[in-house]
Structure 1
Amino acid sequence: MSTAPVGNPAGLPAWTTRPADETAVQNLTDALGCPQAIAQILVSRTISDAAAAKTFFTPTLDDLIDPMLMLGMDTAVARIQHAVRSSQPILIYGDYDVDGTTATVLLKTAIERIAPKETPATVTYHVPHRIREGYGMQNGVLGQAAASGVRLVISVDTGIRAFAAAEEAKALGMDLIVTDHHLPDGVIGIPAAVAVLNPAQQNCPYPFKHLCGAAVAFKLAHALLLATTETEEQRAKLKRGLIPSFLKLVAIATIADSVPLEGENRVIAALGLKDLRNPVQPGLRALMQVAQIPINRPPTATEVGFRLAPRINAAGRMDIAGDVVELFLTKDPARASALADKLNRLNDERRATEAKALEAIEAQLAALRDSLGDYLAECIILDDPEWHRGVLGILASRVVDRTGRPAIVMTHEDGHAHGSGRSIDGFHLLDAISAVHEPLTPSDAPLFSRFGGHAHAVGFSMPSDRMPLLRERMQRYGAPRLTGEITAPPLECDAELLLSDLTQSFYDWLTRCEPFGIGNREPVFLTRGLILSAPVRFIKEKHICLPLQSPGLQSSGTTNRISALGWSRTTDWPARCAEIGLNTGSQLDVAYRLKAKTNPQFPGLELELVALRPA
């Protein structure tokens, strides 16, 4: 299976097919009885034998990794057990996004479960306010906790760079356990805590390194619950009941945090999505209802990522993220319904705020196009004091979608710039801002007041008057690294098909490869030489529908006609059609994702356009 380009019109990325050993593909096709294109997808994703394919298609709880393999887990479990036995108040220090709020719920629930009924654990939580406090642990909050009698603080989805907070906790007489997934400081290392749980830290033997923050908290919760079981029957009950219940929230966080859906993350996401069908917990049920996700079937990763997650995140973006924790902890259906409705309203407010900011962003991008052409090789940096800090990450993602470049979006308040960045494959954004942060001369000051993140997403704050320095340093850093191979990568297709291959049986096999996301992207297929059988139909003036058919006659019973929809989120499809000069009878090569029609009155399959070119 060649990776050579399958055609490259001038000015457009090449189209390639993913590499897959032909012998391995045929062997897997025969072993599974699946379409060859499905076997090709699996082999190209390093799944080349029937046993590995079975695990991929049907992961089980037995595929979860032993939490005790994580460095520091035994110490963390022992310290929490001591706190529970000694009735020491415990504070969980969370974060305001999906990852941090769900992690808070999981760990609070687990600690309360391991406490004896006669002496229940005292577990409080603090979820910071995005605007008033910002990301990370604050000394003031720790001081208040110590004054209230807290003797153990456990961070979730934060803390790996909380060096000052760790020293403050120690000075206040409190122990600190850090659970996080963000990358540690490469120079200083990790904070001085009783235990640090993070598979990304140096010397951690945990074999899977890409868990989200809620998954790391889940590992601690799982270890705590296992430590309280004494018999096989108790362990089996835990496995049947509480662990699947926890995985629902961990799956939501895993999908929302855009970690790779491979390895253990795939197990978590697949099992969690399956158990999200008909949820019992009132808050989760109410949230799925306001998000208009049917509860008579498992939701898809797309539904979680684009319907559930934005509503959960809206609390931290626009108001108080603690509402999310309460939503997932309450047993009162009426209170759950009220909180879900509030999150829904906040999400509407977030969308309106985002739409207004996007108008200004489009104007700034137009100015950049006029002055820099294709933006040269730089990271896109935009700012406006009117933009809401709660939507900066979303705005940065939109800029990446529109430009194919890493993007940093900032707003200003009281002389400080607050920024959020998103990146593209091949450009490690945390490495970039770490590099530009360092002073160039002894008389220079560090660039940022605070920063953190990972390869694809970062957040920071800095004095506003240092923005020119940020632009200069990022351009210097990005110029040699943002090459054409990174900013205009070839379009990689998973397999080449005929329309007659697109049967319901093929689609059923394809759905077994879900959930899709980073690390297990939704397959893109290529079909050549399709005929536009009628004029292009425009939908709301910015989307398109193409009626396509195979050239020539097909044998009876096979598919030879299908509709292709182009949604103008990242591609201006009407402009693309005009550029090609589409007319009835035009012959096209089409790259697409295969979808089931959503209208039950018109069942069948359709194509979602990824790219289009003359045959």
Structure 2
Amino acid sequence: MEKRWHIAPADEAAVQTLRDALKIHPVLCRILTQRGITTFTNAKEFFRPQLEALHSPWLMKDMDHAVNRLLKAFSAGEKILVFGDYDVDGTTAVAVMYRFLSTQTQQLDFYIPHRYKEGYGISKAGIDFAKENGFTLVVALDCGIKSIDLIDYANTLEIDFIICDHHLPDEKIPAAVAVLNPKQKDCPYPYKELCGCGVGFKLITALVEKLGLPQSFSYQYLDLVATAIAADIVPITGENRILAFHGLEVANKEPNPGIKALAFLSGAKLPLHIHNLVFMIAPRVNAAGRMDDARKAVQLFVAGTYEEALAYAELLHSDNSDRKEADAAITEEALEMIAQNASWTSRKSTVVYQPHWHKGVVGIVASRLIERHYRPTVVLTESGAYAAGSARSVPGFNLYEAIHACREYLIAYGGHFAAAGLTLSKDNIEAFREKFEAIVSITISDDQLIPELLIDAAIKFKDISPAFYNIIKQMEPFGPENMTPVFIARNVKDAGSKVVKEKHLRFVVQQDGVPLTGIGFNLADKLPIIESGHPFDLVFKIDENEWQGQKSLQLRVEDIRLAEV
């Protein structure tokens, strides 16, 4: 698939100022300034994140109400229910809160709504469970900010709620005892991008202070907080960077037994990096809710021993194997449907439906289809008497608005700019497909139908050294708003590149006499560019390869094209 290359601009004066302060390679200074790091102090805070730099939890609106209500529950021996969503952010948040609260009270349980029986967020079934079992206080994590009616219902049953959420609130806020969410308009908390687990962690730090416990008491949970940050695709800036940085340290020194068990089963090698949490830990946790019941994900993280955690980890690992099998089979079937409908390939949107597809993976399949057919995509399956599914967008296109414009054919829908869910009558699938295509066609630009490859800076092979790479490694953890740097090298020549495993390219290249090796996954179709004998431009990340105990730098090639003459 052809891509648009875009090299990020930089303020040259700011680059020079930072270079004068840091005395490091100008390319590194360019990347840092692009990420808002323009002074020596900024750089020190970035490269050496300190837990002492975390904001006071008391700056968050309603924190005093939340803490006082929990202290009252402790002293009165009230039963407390920890409630959370079924994804990684929700289950880790519940586990962290449950583990901490269990140090203060034994009148405690947790509740995770079933993805298909109850749906996302606070549920009536969950509130009824609380009532039937004598719980008078519920701490809701990673959900609740939009649950106006359900909180009102809980109030009629004399069940108090503390909401810890990070999703964007509506104008009306639920009538809970306390609502902790830095995105509230009148919340003065300085950092707005915490995940749900992060908001719960701030409540724990406030309780630790109020209870007179050492500040470090809460740090034992940071590996789970880092897992939530990694999985929930929140910006790795500010407090999230601090929490993720130190969370990875905990994960590598004294990990939660659940993290340790999942790392073992997934074959992750120490030290763990953020990408291990994203691609090895998170999918296995998410698979529990996608394929079965997410309650066992919490049981994994609250397990008291490694042996107990390993038993739950094996269940999640099995769920993930089932998820991968379903994901691959449905993706293949959907691609075949697209190939058999010639008119679909010229469309600017994709809508596919099969009644037997597994509900738990349709969102993943939509993302997979975008990798092959780069356009807004909806994947539907049967859900009882209706069709239901997930939609995913391409960057820059407002998917939610396009679906909203098709509401005449929908029974229910919700989501945001990049992703959405929807339910409709099976009889309306074709009508929805045509209307969705019509809306996308008139609202999407041609550029948005071509993937964009964002490049941080141009570099020469001679400047790629172990010392240079060591500074890049210190920019970890990587994630949104601090992605792994992407470079371009111009006028590169082939020195023996070849196709490996039929679809990948093993690069042996040189620039101005400096040789480097690299790997380009799924780039075999670019071989003619290399074989042309002409110089080409290479876009890549810098990686480290280990072979027989020896480490060497290599290129993780993203794309190539003929150099401009």
TM range (shorter): over 0.9
SS of 1:209's equivalent?
coil
SS of 1:151's equivalent?
strand
For the 8 Å contact 2:224–2:256, the answer to whether it is kept is no
Question: After the TM superposition, which residues 558-597 of structure 1 pair with which residues of structure 2 at under 5 Å, given as runs?
Answer: 560-568=514-522, 573-578=523-528, 580=529, 582-583=530-531, 585-597=533-545
Partner in structure 1 of residue 207 of structure 2: 224
For the 8 Å contact 1:92–1:154, the answer to whether it is kept is yes
For the 8 Å contact 1:533–1:585, the answer to whether it is kept is no
1:221–1:427 Cα change, 3 Å:
farther
Question: After the TM superposition, which residues 105-504 of structure 1 pair with which residues of structure 2 at under 5 Å, given as runs?
Answer: 105-113=95-103, 115=104, 120-185=105-170, 189-229=172-212, 234=213, 237-239=214-216, 242-295=217-270, 297=271, 299-367=272-340, 370-376=342-348, 378=349, 380-430=350-400, 432-433=402-403, 435-436=404-405, 447-449=410-412, 451=414, 453-468=415-430, 470-472=432-434, 474-488=436-450, 490-504=452-466
**Structure 1 gap segments, 5+ residues each:** 1-10, 440-444, 554-559
Moved more, 404-413 or 329-338: 404-413
For the 8 Å contact 1:278–1:285, the answer to whether it is kept is no
For the 8 Å contact 2:223–2:255, the answer to whether it is kept is no
Partner in structure 1 of residue 498 of structure 2: 537
1:426–1:207 Cα change, 3 Å:
farther
* Aligned counterparts of 2:345 and 2:434: Cα–Cα separation in 1: 18
Query: For this pair of structures, how many residues does the alignment match?
Result: 563
Q: 2:510 aligns with which of 549, 566, 572?
A: 549
Q: 1:516 aligns with which of 461, 470, 478?
A: 478
1:489–1:49 Cα change, 3 Å:
farther
Once the two structures are TM-superposed, the CA of residue 25 in structure 1 deviates from its matched residue by 1.2
Scaled by the length of structure 1, the TM-score of the pair is 0.86
Q: 2:21 aligns with which of 13, 28, 31?
A: 31
Partner in structure 2 of residue 6 of structure 1: none
* Aligned counterparts of 1:133 and 1:400: Cα–Cα separation in 2: 29
Once the two structures are TM-superposed, the CA of residue 216 in structure 1 deviates from its matched residue by 1.6
Alignment RMSD (CA, Å): 2.3
Deviations along 1:101-151, whole A, 9 cap, x unmatched? Answer: 0000111222233x3xxxx34121111222333222221231121021111
The amino acid of 2:502's aligned partner reads E
1:264–1:430 Cα change, 3 Å:
farther
* Aligned counterparts of 2:49 and 2:177: Cα–Cα separation in 1: 34
For the 8 Å contact 2:338–2:345, the answer to whether it is kept is no
1:192–1:437 Cα change, 3 Å:
farther
Scaled by the length of structure 2, the TM-score of the pair is 0.93
Once the two structures are TM-superposed, the CA of residue 493 in structure 1 deviates from its matched residue by 1.5
Once the two structures are TM-superposed, the CA of residue 282 in structure 1 deviates from its matched residue by 2.4
* Aligned counterparts of 1:189 and 1:474: Cα–Cα separation in 2: 31
Once the two structures are TM-superposed, the CA of residue 457 in structure 1 deviates from its matched residue by 3.2
Deviations along 1:238-282, whole A, 9 cap, x unmatched? Answer: 23xx33222211110111111121222222211211221133432
Deviations along 1:36-66, whole A, 9 cap, x unmatched? Answer: 1111100111111110011111111122222
Moved more, 94-103 or 156-165: 156-165
Moved more, 274-283 or 214-223: 274-283
1:487–1:85 Cα change, 3 Å:
farther
* Aligned counterparts of 1:172 and 1:420: Cα–Cα separation in 2: 35
For the 8 Å contact 1:287–1:340, the answer to whether it is kept is yes
* Aligned counterparts of 1:576 and 1:521: Cα–Cα separation in 2: 25
For the 8 Å contact 2:205–2:215, the answer to whether it is kept is no
Partner in structure 2 of residue 46 of structure 1: 36
Deviations along 1:156-188, whole A, 9 cap, x unmatched? Answer: 112222233212212222112222222234xx6
Once the two structures are TM-superposed, the CA of residue 473 in structure 1 deviates from its matched residue by 5.0
SS of 1:328's equivalent?
helix
* Aligned counterparts of 1:63 and 1:382: Cα–Cα separation in 2: 48
For the 8 Å contact 2:2–2:451, the answer to whether it is kept is no
* Percent of residue pairs identical: 36
SS of 1:19's equivalent?
coil
1:393–1:426 Cα change, 3 Å:
same
The amino acid of 1:575's aligned partner reads D
For the 8 Å contact 2:499–2:527, the answer to whether it is kept is no
* Aligned counterparts of 2:253 and 2:548: Cα–Cα separation in 1: 21
Moved more, 152-161 or 198-207: 198-207
* Aligned counterparts of 1:387 and 1:63: Cα–Cα separation in 2: 48
SS of 2:49's equivalent?
coil
Matched, 1:102 2:92: yes
